[in-house]
Amino acid sequence: MNTPLIKTENLTKIYGRGAAEIRALDGVDFEIESGEFVAIIGASGSGKSTLMNMLGGLDRPDLGRMFIAGQDLGQMSNKALAKFRNETIGFVFQQFQLLPKKSARANVMLPLQYRRPRREDEKALAEQSLARVGMSDRIAHKPTELSGGQQQRVAIARALVDAPELLLADEPTGALDSKTSTDVMALLKKLNAQGITIVLITHDADIAAYATRIITMRDGKITADERTEKAP
Amino acid sequence: MRHFIAAYVSLVSRPFRTLLTMFGIVIGVAAIYAMISIGNGAKKMIIHSLDGINTRSIAITPIWTENKASRRTERRPFSEADIEEISRIEGVESVSGENSKEFSVAVPGADLKVGIDGSDAFYLRTKSMTLKLGRNLNETDLQSKALVAIIGSSVAQSLFGTNHPIGETVKIDKIPFTVIGVVEKHETNLSSRRDENKFVLIPRTTARARLMGGHASVKNHVEGITVIFEREQDFSRIEDDIEHLLRYTRGLLDSDKLNFRMFNFAAARNQMMQVQRVLSLLLGSIGTIILIVGGVGVMNIMLVNVTERTHEIGLRLSVGARRSDILWQFVIEAILLCGLAGIVGLGLGWGIIAVAEIIGEFKMDTGWSVAALAFGSSLFVGLIFGYLPARRASRLHPVEALRHE
């Protein structure tokens, strides 16, 4: 194997000062290879969300280093981080985070709005992405006209648009019923099978079971790291 | 362009709020547009009021003054010697003296009351008038107290119609005068009700000897003097010289108030302009204050917008928007809001101007530059008052923005 897609060294994030100091991340080291489907599991406050924000370039570590797709995130300017989020990362959120007054296609096109230079085939890319999540027949629908599962599919299409290297999903089934959750997880599984690297945050062991590797976190530290099946 | 469409969509999705916010800007822009237009219109009117009037002239008239123990003295007239002396002041082109009174002027079959001006050969010149027919008065007429008359165009029209008046006889206060000249119709924009072409000019000496009683009948007395000087910039100096001279000839001490008045159209115009400028400034300030208040309203609503859309901002940042993208998004929204308000404001201002023109009976100056200034100020307000909320939006932390409830 060549260099890992993600590599962290002593990743540390500290909130507060002095006696009130809380280490949300306390010296986290791990590597994730391209093509893996990793679930990060832990109770609330375990540091898993902080870790995901860090991986997505939304937050900066206080200590340690972090490399994603060959880029040293700690050394990046705000502009470079924006570009990184735009091109390298696709986010899927628990609450979908769709713009309510825009169509599914317009929502999927949102990351392309900030692409520099602009692509001319934005609409086509968005439609391809919607097709990948099975939402081709809902292109013009607004989020309010879609079910929760359909909204999350649109959100996944948005994360996938123009092939990011890493899909970060923060409790993607947290707002869905169990039936819809199964559908969404099956979709993620399928996407992973197509070669997309996925890092999933959850507190639900059943959901984590879809992943090929489960990292367990507690109090800002990794307490377990196990593969559920052979790495691809 | 894409940013503008996005901003437009965002604004029309909250129509009521957008309209309310626009209100202050609309009124502000309308006020600025209307008030500057009205101010400029007034300025033009003042300038044009002097069209056809010689601004290089000073009209001097005696006035009542209070002297010792509040005893009013009589209006003290000037004298022939004053005319002589004033005409010797350097830079003075011509001087005419004038004694006027109204009399009946009659020809067989027609009769009217006309102001009779007893004056001299310089009268027409000092009033910027020219002869249409016949000849001007001359020295001989004055010395011989000749019974000759030059008539204004209105008088010619009333008494002679289309007939040729030169050589005809008119009776002024029953004394027969021969018409030797007719004056070209003179037009000024001064809104004085008096018809300035309705006058009869006769030699001052004749007027004094044959027509006028009281002071004017006394030898040498002159009721009014008009001075024309050569160069406009000499005005103050010549005015000072005349004041000095007349103070001397009228025996006034330095501490005495003047018992005559000097009037120059250019100086009067400058005074009017001064008043107009202050008025314009005042009106413009009111418009500006309204606009600023409107701008604070815009800032307020943009802050509400930013708070409401914190989630959206977090999302946009997480999918790759730069801070500057967010900044521009909200700045453009504020500018567009104010720009739309500016357009409506121009329409409203135009309406106000149209009504003011009907009521005020004068032409406003609604130039493009004024409209552009008013509109530009609305955009400027959008930029200034939109910047702070936009900056706040762009400074949000993406994680906290996404988590915001």
CA-wise closest residue to B225 among B69, B59, B31, B101: B59
Q: What is the 3-state secondary structure (H, E, C) of A85-145?
A: HHHCEEEECCCCCCCCCCCHHHHHHHHHHCCCCCCCCHHHHHHHHHHHCCCHHHCCCCHHH
Question: Do the domain assignments include residue B91?
Answer: yes
Rounded to a whole number of angstroms, the distance from the CA of B343 to the nearest CA of chain A is 27
Half-sphere exposure (CA, 13 Å, Cβ side) for B24? 21
pLDDT value of position B211: 87
- Within 8 A of A53 by CB-CB distance, chain B residues are 399
Do A85 and B319 count as a contact with CB atoms less than 8 A apart? yes
The Cα–Cα gap between B54 and B268 comes to: 13
pLDDT score for A231: 46
Contact B8, B335 (CB under 8 A): no
For residues B354 and B348, give the distance between their C-alpha atoms in angstroms, rounded to a whole number.
10
**Cβ-contact B183, B129 below 8 angstroms:** yes
Parse chain A into domains and list their residue ranges: 34-58+78-227
Assess whether B214 and B284 both reside in one domain. no
Chain B: closest CA distance from residue A230 (Å): 32
* Domain end among B258, B284, B301: B258
**Are residues B109 and B189 located together in one domain of the fold?**
yes
pLDDT of residue A111: 94
For all residues of chain B together, what is the average pLDDT? Answer: 86
Q: Does residue B244 share a domain with residue B113?
A: yes
Angle separating helix axes B323-360 and B2-12, nearest 10 degrees: 70
Coil vs helix vs strand at B201? strand
Neighbours of B244 (CB within 10 A): 11
Residue B66 gets which letter from DSSP?
B
Closest CA to B199 of B169, B164, B159: B159
Note whether B101 contacts A: Cβ–Cβ < 8 A: no
Q: Cβ distance A56 to A85 under 8 Å?
A: yes
Burial of B287 (0-12, 13-18, 19+ CB in 10 A): buried
> Whole-angstrom Cα distance, residue B105 to residue B150?
12
Query: Residue B178: its pLDDT value, please?
Result: 94
Give the angle subtended at the CA of A104 by the CAs of A98 and A107, to the nearest 5°.
Answer: 50
Residues A154 and A130 sit within 8 Å (Cβ to Cβ) = yes
What is the β-pairing status of strands B110-119 and B199-203?
A: parallel
Q: How far is B22 from chain A (nearest CA, A)?
A: 23
One domain, residues B114 and B191? yes
Q: Are residues B93 and B213 in the same domain?
A: yes
The answer to whether the predicted template modeling score (pTM) of the entire model surpasses 0.80 is no
Answer yes or no: do B347 and B234 share one domain: no
B265 within some domain: no
pLDDT at B215: 57
d(CA B146, CA B203): 7
Residue B375 lies in a domain: yes
Measured CA to CA, the distance from residue B380 to residue B32 in angstroms comes to 14
DSSP string, chain A: --S-SEEEEEEEEEES-GGG-EEEEEEEEEEE-TT-EEEEE--TTSSHHHHHHHHTTSS--SEEEEEETTEEGGG--HHHHHHHHHHTEEEE-TT----TTS-HHHHHHHHHHT-SSPPTTHHHHHHHHHHHTT-GGGTT--GGGS-HHHHHHHHHHHHHTT--SEEEEESTTTTS-HHHHHHHHHHHHHHHHTT-EEEEEES-HHHHTTSSEEEEEETTEEEEEEESS---
Answer yes or no: is B264 within a domain.
no
For residue B56, being part of any structural domain is answered with no
Paired tokens of A209: 């079971």
Q: Distance (Å, rounded) from C-alpha A134 to C-alpha B28? A: 53
| Distance of residue A20 Cα from the nearest chain B Cα, in angstroms | 20
Determine contact, residues B112/B155, Cβ cutoff 8 Å: yes
pLDDT tens per residue, range B17-41 = 889 999 999 999 999 888 888 888 8
Show Cβ contacts of residue A93 under 8 Å, excluding neighbours closer than 6 positions. A155, A170, A172, B402
Is B42 domain-assigned?
A: yes
Residues 179-218 of A with CB under 8 A from B: none
Q: Does domain A34-58+78-227 correspond to CATH entry 3.40.50.300?
A: yes
What's the pLDDT score for residue B272?
Answer: 82
CA distance B330 to B310: 12
Band of the pLDDT at A149, cuts 50, 70, 90?
A: very high
Is the minimum CB–CB distance between A85 and chain B shorter than 8 Å?
yes
Nearest of A142, A167, A148, A146 to residue A157 by alpha carbon? A167
What is the pLDDT at residue B188?
66
Among A50, A52, A53, which would you mutate to test the B interface (most chain B Cβ atoms within 10 Å of its Cβ)?
A: A53
Quickly list DSSP for B25-37: HHHHHHHHHHHHH
Candidate from A53, A93, A114 with C-beta closest to B320:
A114
Is B214 found in the same domain as B300?
no
A61 touches chain B (CB under 8 A): no
> Residue B228 in contact with residue B93, Cβ under 8 Å?
yes
Domain end point (choices B258, B280, B295): B258
Give the residue from chain A lying closest to B403, CA to CA. A95
Q: What angle do the packed helices A104-113 and A148-160 form, to 10 degrees? A: 30
> Do B313 and B367 belong together in one domain?
yes
Residue B118 contacts residue B100 (beta carbons within 8 Å): yes
Boundaries of domain holding B329: 2-49+271-403
Distance from CA of B288 to the nearest CA of A (A): 37
| Statement to judge: residues B34 and B68 lie in one domain | no
Residue B27: per-residue pLDDT = 92
Structure tokens belonging to residue A67: 């490399």
Interchain CB distance below 8 Å, B321 and A87: no
Cα–Cα dist B261/A68, whole Å: 92
* pLDDT more than 70, % of chain B: 91
Residue of chain B nearest A78, judged by CA positions: B322
Q: What are the tens digits of pLDDT across the range B214-273?
A: 555 677 888 899 999 988 888 889 989 999 999 888 888 877 788 888 888 778 878 888
Q: Retrieve residue A196's tokens.
A: 């997309």
> What are the tens digits of pLDDT across the range A73-91?
988 999 999 999 999 999 9
Residue of A nearest to B324 (CA): A79
Both structure tokens of B384: 């200034």
Copy the structure tokens of residue B30: 């309308």
Q: Residue B395 and residue B325: Cα distance in Å, rounded?
A: 11
Does residue B354 fall inside a structural domain? yes
- ipTM for this prediction: 0.93
Domain boundary among B224, B258, B292: B258
For the segment B77-96, the average pLDDT, to the nearest whole number, is 90
Q: Do B228 and B314 reside in the same domain of the chain? A: no
Scanning every residue of chain B, which has its alpha carbon at the shortest distance from the alpha carbon of A167?
Answer: B319
Residue B13 near chain A (CB below 8 Å): yes
Task: Give the pLDDT confidence of B90-145 residue by residue, as tens digits.
Answer: 989 999 999 888 899 998 888 889 999 999 999 988 888 889 989 999 999 999 99
Same domain, B244 and B136: yes
Task: Give the dihedral of Cα atoms A204, A205, A207, A208; nearest 10 deg.
Answer: 120
Query: Which residue of chain B has the CA closest to A79?
Result: B322
**Number of domains observed in the structure of chain B:** 2
> How high does pLDDT run on average in chain A?
91
How far apart are the CA of B4 and the nearest CA of chain A, in angstroms?
Answer: 14
Other Cβ atoms closer than 10 A to B16: 7
B132 falls within a domain? yes
Q: Are residues B359 and B247 in the same domain?
A: no
Span B173-226, pLDDT tens digits: 999 999 999 999 887 655 455 778 889 999 999 998 888 865 556 778 888 999
Range with the lowest mean pLDDT among A102-106, B274-278, B327-331?
B274-278
pLDDT band, very low/low/confident/very high, at A139 (cuts 50, 70, 90): very high
pLDDT of residue B335: 94
A91, A102, A129: best to mutate for the B interface, most B CBs within 10 A = A91
